[in-house]
Amino acid sequence: MIGQAGREKCDDVLVQVNIDTSEGIKVDIESKVKQLFGKQIEQSVKEVLYEMDVKNAYVTLKDEGALDFVIRARVKTAIKRAKGGVK
């Protein structure tokens, strides 16, 4: 089950969440600011996964300079889409 949200456009981030895994949480980040903010981005992703009770997921992010609230929103939407049934 894979969910995707966001875009590879300025101030946005393309997030893909695969919850069809049993290997815990894995986060892959592609970002120009990964060196500076990679850890914070990963932390935000993990917080959203925790809030939404997701224990196993492979998350990829293609970041184009998204602010923290945008990253959180995109991860949230991608999880909901992966789970399905959300309008």
Q: Is residue 67 a contact point for other proteins (CB under 8 A)? A: yes
Residue type, 39: K
Choice between 28 and 68, CB closer to other proteins: 68
Among positions 37, 63, 81, 82, the unique one binding other proteins when judged by CB under 8 A:
81
Q: By CB under 8 A, tell whether 52 contacts other proteins.
A: no
Query: Cα–chain-centroid distance for residue 10?
Result: 17
Nearest of 29, 26, 7 to residue 18 by alpha carbon: 26
Distance in Å, CB of 3 to other proteins, minimum: 10
